[in-house]
Amino acid sequence: MEIVVLDGYTLNPGDLDWAPLYTFGLPQIYDRTAPDQIWRAREAEAVFTNKTPLDADALETLPKLKYIGVLATGYDVVDVEAARRKGITVTNVPGYGAESVAQMTFAHILNISNNVAGHAADVDAGGWSQTEDYCYWLTPQVELKDKILGIIGFGEIGRAVARLARAFGMQVLIVTRTPPDPLPDDIRVVDSDELLRKADVVTLHCPLTETTRSLINEETIGLMKDSAILVNCSRGQLIDEGALAGALENGRIKAACLDVLSREPVRGDNPLIGIKNCYITPHIAWATREARTRLLAIAADNLRSFLDGKPQNTVS
């Protein structure tokens, strides 16, 4: 079977083994593929992509294609409707990184609460050696116990975040279309307005849809506490970045912690770059070695199931 991986570098920059894909033949693996290089897959029956777009025009240039494996949970890089019309099966990889994303969510929260890196850097710069006291702090030290965490979206990642929050003794409010049954007694389902008004930390774990696009905007930020922290490890387009930049500059919320932006890689003219109390990481919440290993294994299993006539994790 002719298999092409269009952009394998992000998943595997060299620390993983592509062996799961070699069970199907000899795949052609490219680190990156520009839109005008889709011809690389013109003989392929199966293609794997992470962020290389496969729109309707691209699919027309791939006459032998029967299967697209998206090496991610989000699959908006593929024109799924066009694939469906051409009889191409499209799969994604859900559930591989919930614990890793939850961990990064709390890495951001703890960065604001304790400012570990800032204090360590100050000690290295001589701050502690020059003080008359046995201790000092550059920013307030905040205990998470009894603080309110608001989770928008309660899928696998949202639930993993809630488990960590409960371990810290936080109160948990959630907004979700499909509350799990049973729901732990100390987690409450509320509407989005109540969550935004009450939460000390608001964290986004919902999919990007037309309903959720710019979910965080000038109006919804206006409902939040001035002391609130906003975390986004989901999709950058959930936030109106101009509105968030204005809110941070005007002290309308305390901080924003973002692992995703509306356009990636980030451009220099993004309004959030350089804003005080805006902490941006380069879309790495998913990228632990453990999570990427699971992703590759599930992606291979998706292809195996397709070839066995029992496709799984289909989105087309």
Active site residues: 235, 264, 283
Look up residue 168 and give its DSSP letter: T
| Integer-rounded Cα radius of gyration of the chain | 22
Helix axes 156-167 and 98-114, enclosed angle (nearest 10): 40
In DSSP terms, 279 is beta-bridged to 257
Q: How buried is 26 (Cβ within 10 angstroms: 0-12 exposed, 13-18 middle, 19+ buried)? A: exposed
d(CA 272, CA 261): 9
Q: How many CB atoms lie under 10 A from the CB of residue 141?
A: 10
Torsional sign, CA 44, 45, 50, 51: positive
At CA 102, angle to CA 96 and CA 108, rounded to 5?
Answer: 135
Query: Residue 204: in which H helix or E strand, if any?
Result: strand 201-204
Greatest alpha-carbon span in the chain = 74
**260 touches 234 (CB < 8 A):** yes
